[in-house]
């Protein structure tokens, strides 16, 4: 059985789970604030990752890979980069520059490709590089409001968005590097092991940070544990499939195909809010679909 394209359905499941997690976190924001809602994906996702690893170990009888020095460095780098990316993005969005920040954050696939080449030696064909560029331009176009420009909100949101995208890219490369550095185990075992260590590191970092600087948000997340469990489960589920995707192919492939999440969110928004689709959004969707089609063509 040919599993060379198995990363495609894996990535689509991850994107769908992340769409659900984002919706859950948005509802939590109203109850426990932005910081509290952000950290539940780690704090409440970590137990589910541990359960997944235990079940996998029981079902497959595989030995859990032993962490090595490079693995720990990659995991810590990826975990820290993801936290910093989220903090930068939320900080910029508080300045009422949501569309601009989102547009520049979505340059992540391009930056993933560059960092993957530099750090991990993940090479791309010209066709795949073109696919990444086209799909990214489509997302940027969809993220902008009609009549707005990429610099209309000033330089600071632009810089914050690009740097946030860079940290998200570094997080993806860090986690893929960690998975690859484990010399033993199946793709699923190495991905799940990395997920446990990654979420564990992020949980410790955020618990210490919130305990020192934002106890109100920390206690609020504890009091809202029931809805937070849902966000944590969906977050862990999405991450499980992201990491499995990273184990099967380059992070650039995974994060480019993941742009279909924008189309999923768009479909949900128009279905439940009855919003009309603008010409700009249609053009963006065409570019995303075209870029994804080129990406898949480049794998054959």
| DSSP state string for 201-261 | HHHHHHHHHHHHH-HHHHHHHHHTHHHHHHHHHHHHHHHHHHHHHHHHS-HHHHHHHTTHH
Task: Return d(Cα 281, Cα 286) in angstroms, integer.
Answer: 9
CA distance 42 to 232: 7
pLDDT of residue 40: 85
Q: What is the pLDDT of residue 145?
A: 63
* Mean pLDDT, residues 257-271: 73
Q: pLDDT tens digits, residue range 209-225?
A: 888 988 888 888 888 88
185: left (phi over 0), alpha (psi -120 to 50) or beta: left
The secondary structure of residue 120, as a DSSP letter, is: I
Whether 87 has a pLDDT exceeding 60, the answer reads: yes
Q: Residues 16, 264: contact at Cβ < 8 Å?
A: yes
Q: How far is CA 125 from CA 54, 129, 168, 208, in A?
A: 38, 6, 23, 43
Q: 88 or 181, which is more confident?
A: 181
pLDDT confidence band for 140 (50 / 70 / 90): confident
- Contact, 113 vs 291, CB < 8 A? no
Q: Minimum mean pLDDT among 48-57, 146-155, 244-253, 283-292: which range? A: 146-155
C-alpha dist (Å) from residue 134 to 98, 127, 130, 180, 300? 22, 11, 6, 28, 19
Mean pLDDT of 191-215: 92
| Residues, the chain | 300
Nearest to 48 by CA among 202, 241, 222, 235: 235
Confidence check: pLDDT of 265 > 80: no
Measured CA to CA, the distance from residue 195 to residue 185 in angstroms comes to 14
Listed by start position, the domains of the chain span 7-124+155-249
Whole-number pLDDT of residue 220:
85
């Amino acid at each position: 059985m040919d599993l060379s394209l198995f990363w495609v359905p894996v990535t689509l499941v991850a994107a769908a789970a992340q769409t659900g997690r984002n919706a859950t976190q948005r509802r939590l924001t109203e109850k426990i604030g932005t910081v509290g809602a952000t950290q539940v994906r780690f704090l409440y996702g970590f137990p589910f990752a541990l359960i997944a690893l235990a079940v996998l170990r029981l079902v497959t009888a595989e030995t859990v890979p032993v962490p090595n020095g490079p693995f720990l460095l990659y995991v810590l780098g990826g975990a820290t980069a993801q936290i910093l990316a989220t903090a930068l993005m939320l900080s910029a969005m508080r300045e009422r520059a949501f569309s601009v920040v989102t547009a520049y954050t979505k340059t992540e696939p391009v930056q993933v490709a560059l960092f993957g080449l530099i750090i991990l030696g993940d090479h791309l064909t010209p066709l795949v590089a073109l696919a990444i560029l086209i799909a990214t331009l489509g997302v940027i176009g969809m993220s902008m409001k009609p009549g707005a420009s990429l610099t209309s909100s000033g330089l600071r949101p632009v810089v914050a968005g690009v740097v946030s995208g860079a940290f998200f890219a570094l997080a993806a490369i860090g986690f893929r590097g960690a998975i690859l550095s484990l010399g033993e185990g199946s793709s699923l075992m190495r991905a799940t092991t990395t997920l446990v260590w990654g979420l564990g590191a992020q949980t410790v970092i955020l618990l210490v940070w919130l305990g020192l600087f934002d106890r109100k948000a920390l206690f609020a997340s504890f009091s809202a544990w029931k809805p937070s469990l849902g966000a944590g489960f969906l977050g862990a589920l999405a991450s499980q499939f992201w990491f499995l995707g990273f184990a099967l192919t380059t992070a650039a492939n995974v994060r480019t195909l993941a742009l279909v999440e924008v189309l999923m969110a768009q479909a949900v928004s128009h279905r439940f809010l009855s919003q009309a689709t603008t010409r700009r959004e249609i053009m963006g969707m065409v570019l995303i679909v075209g870029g994804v089609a080129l990406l898949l063509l480049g794998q054959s």
